[in-house]
């Protein structure tokens, strides 16, 4: 169904009508009468409907009453919506009522409707503010009259146009990775119980995930301390060191958030992050947290990079990386990637994964330019043997793979996250903190591995 708007003599939307229509659509979305929607642009209805269908690869049969010109003409401000068959009448009634209210309001604001082009408002000979333009089919085809085009053909044309300029695949093919899952009963148990643990989240220039991370921990029942590392001058740095040391002493958990610390400086993102935590006072505070108070540490994305550079994963303590130490480097396609990824929990040795399902697959957002986990063969074998590989990138069937469609950065052995030897320090690339009631609701699969809840519960 397409929702239409009025435009004036200058092709500008009539504000009052548009707001009334959008309010009605918002109400319909809340009532589940609209299950998905797309804001039309200069590419037309055909492009909008195609992109809406690409995700689940269901087909669309377009009504022949939609003229060819309308299929490809600009429709700025209009919306295309997917409406369940049993909700069509509700949608019509709601929009009609809103437009009647708008018409009555024109008497009080005469200038509102001045210069309105009824011809443009109607479109294709239809006098209402909505029109059914087609229906979803299960043939995986776009059908318009006698024309049929498979969804796969359409996707290939859409993606293939710029593939040589902005490649989505650097290494063709991609074999499966058969590593199984790690079973253990030896999960570290906290000896220093706390009713409501405190989480310290350090923020550096370029960090951008501190708010999501803090919200995730608060939602899980923790207190949160967020402090910014100031670096404008030497005095700021000295002051920040003292502030960080105090915050760590008050906390039971340290969380390194994601972002682009210091702009992801060349040859190694998170270097600034790691350099600050190598400061003698801060390092000692971290050491006490881990060795004397059974503390936990978590690093996501840029935070994972910081944990690796500090040696906290895989070694379990702040130490220098060796020549052959595991590390994170540029994605195989050489640029930033942002998409949903499927990850499987392959070890529950970490307290962070206590409430996750061993062998379970979780769909989470990934957004990074340096997320490719690399390590020598002997290190890879050691990590799997010790149960330190916590999560792997998997395909739709739950199989770990080197296929870049699923293993988006080309990580060795499809590794997405690893832990310290005892599991209390966990680093991963996927943004498990980027969750919310209205976030990614159209994505298939379980999204919550109860990461933050498990971290908080560990202290109880």
Domain coordinates of the chain in residue numbers? 2-160, 198-457
Give the model's pLDDT for residue 118.
42
Give the model's pLDDT for residue 267.
58
Task: Give CA–CA dist 119/6, Å, rounded.
Answer: 9
Q: Which CATH superfamily is domain 2-160 in?
A: PurM-like C-terminal domain (3.90.650.10)
Q: Residues 242-271: what's their mean pLDDT?
A: 85
| CATH class entry, domain 198-457 | alpha beta
215-219, 264-268, 402-406: the lowest-pLDDT one: 264-268
Is pLDDT above 90 for 269?
A: no
Is pLDDT above 70 for 112?
A: no
Segment 308-354, tens digit of pLDDT: 999 999 999 999 988 899 999 999 998 999 999 999 999 999 999 99
Instruction: Answer whether 0.75 is exceeded by the pTM.
Output: yes
Mean pLDDT of the chain: 92
* Residue (of 93, 80, 117) closest to 27 by Cα position: 93
What are the C-alpha distances in Å from 164 to residues 159, 173, 209? Answer: 10, 17, 32
Segment 160-173, tens digit of pLDDT: 999 888 888 898 88
Highest mean pLDDT among 6-15, 50-59, 218-227, 433-442: 218-227
Q: Place 107 in a pLDDT band, splitting at 50, 70 and 90.
A: low
378-386 long-range Cβ contacts below 8 angstroms, 24+ apart = 378/324, 379/314, 379/324, 379/325, 379/326, 380/412, 380/413, 380/415, 383/314, 383/326, 383/415, 383/418, 384/179, 384/182, 384/413, 386/421
Fold agreement (2-160, 198-457): no
What are the residues facing 130 on neighbouring strands? Answer: 3
Structure tokens at 146: 């006698």
Find all residues with CB under 8 Å of 372, minimum gap 6, and list them.
328, 329, 330, 331, 332, 409, 410, 411, 412
């Amino acid at each position: 169904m397409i929702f239409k708007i009025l435009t004036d003599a200058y092709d500008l939307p009539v504000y009052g009508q548009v707001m009334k229509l959008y309010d009605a659509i918002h109400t319909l979305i809340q009532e589940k009468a609209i299950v998905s929607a797309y804001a039309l642009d200069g590419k037309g209805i055909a492009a909008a409907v195609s992109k809406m269908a690409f995700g689940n690869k269901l087909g669309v049969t377009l009504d022949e009453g939609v003229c060819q010109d309308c299929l490809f003409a600009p429709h700025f401000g209009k919306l295309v919506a997917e409406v369940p068959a049993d909700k069509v009448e509700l949608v019509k009634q709601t929009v009609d009522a809103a437009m009647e209210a708008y018409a009555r309001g024109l008497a009080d604001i005469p200038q509102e409707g001045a210069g309105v082009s009824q011809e443009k408002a109607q479109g294709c000979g239809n006098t209402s503010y909505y029109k059914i333009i087609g229906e979803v089919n299960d043939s995986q085809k776009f059908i318009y009259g006698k024309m049929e085009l498979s969804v796969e053909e359409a996707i290939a044309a859409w993606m293939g146009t710029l593939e040589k300029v902005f490649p989505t695949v650097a290494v063709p093919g991609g074999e499966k990775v058969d590593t199984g899952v790690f079973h253990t009963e030896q999960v570290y148990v906290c000896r220093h119980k706390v009713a409501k643990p405190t989480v310290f989240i350090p923020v550096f220039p370029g960090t951008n995930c501190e708010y999501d991370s803090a919200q995730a921990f608060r939602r899980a029942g923790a207190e949160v301390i967020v402090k910014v590392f100031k670096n404008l001058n030497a005095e700021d740095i000295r002051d920040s060191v003292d502030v960080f040391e105090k915050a760590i002493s008050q906390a039971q958990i340290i969380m390194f958030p994601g972002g682009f610390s210091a702009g992801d400086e060349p040859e190694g993102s998170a270097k600034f992050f790691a350099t600050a935590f190598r400061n003698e006072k801060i390092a000692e505070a971290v050491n006490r947290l881990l060795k004397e108070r059974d503390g936990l540490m978590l690093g996501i994305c840029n935070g994972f990079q910081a944990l690796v550079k500090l040696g906290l994963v895989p070694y379990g303590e702040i130490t220098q990386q060796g020549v052959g130490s595991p590390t994170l480097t540029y994605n195989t396609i050489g640029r930033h990637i942002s998409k949903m990824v499927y990850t499987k929990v392959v070890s529950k040795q970490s307290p962070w994964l206590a409430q996750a399902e061993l062998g379970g697959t979780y769909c989470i957002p990934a957004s990074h330019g340096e997320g490719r986990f690399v390590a020598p063969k002997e290190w890879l074998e050691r990590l799997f043997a010790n149960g330190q590989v916590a999560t792997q990138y998997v395909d739709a069937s739950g199989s770990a793979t080197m296929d870049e469609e699923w293993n988006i950065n080309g990580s060795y052995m499809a590794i997405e996250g690893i832990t310290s030897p005892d599991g209390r320090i966990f680093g991963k690339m996927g943004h498990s903190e980027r969750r919310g009631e209205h976030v990614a609701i159209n994505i298939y699969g379980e999204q919550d591995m109860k990461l933050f809840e498990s971290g908080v519960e560990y202290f109880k």
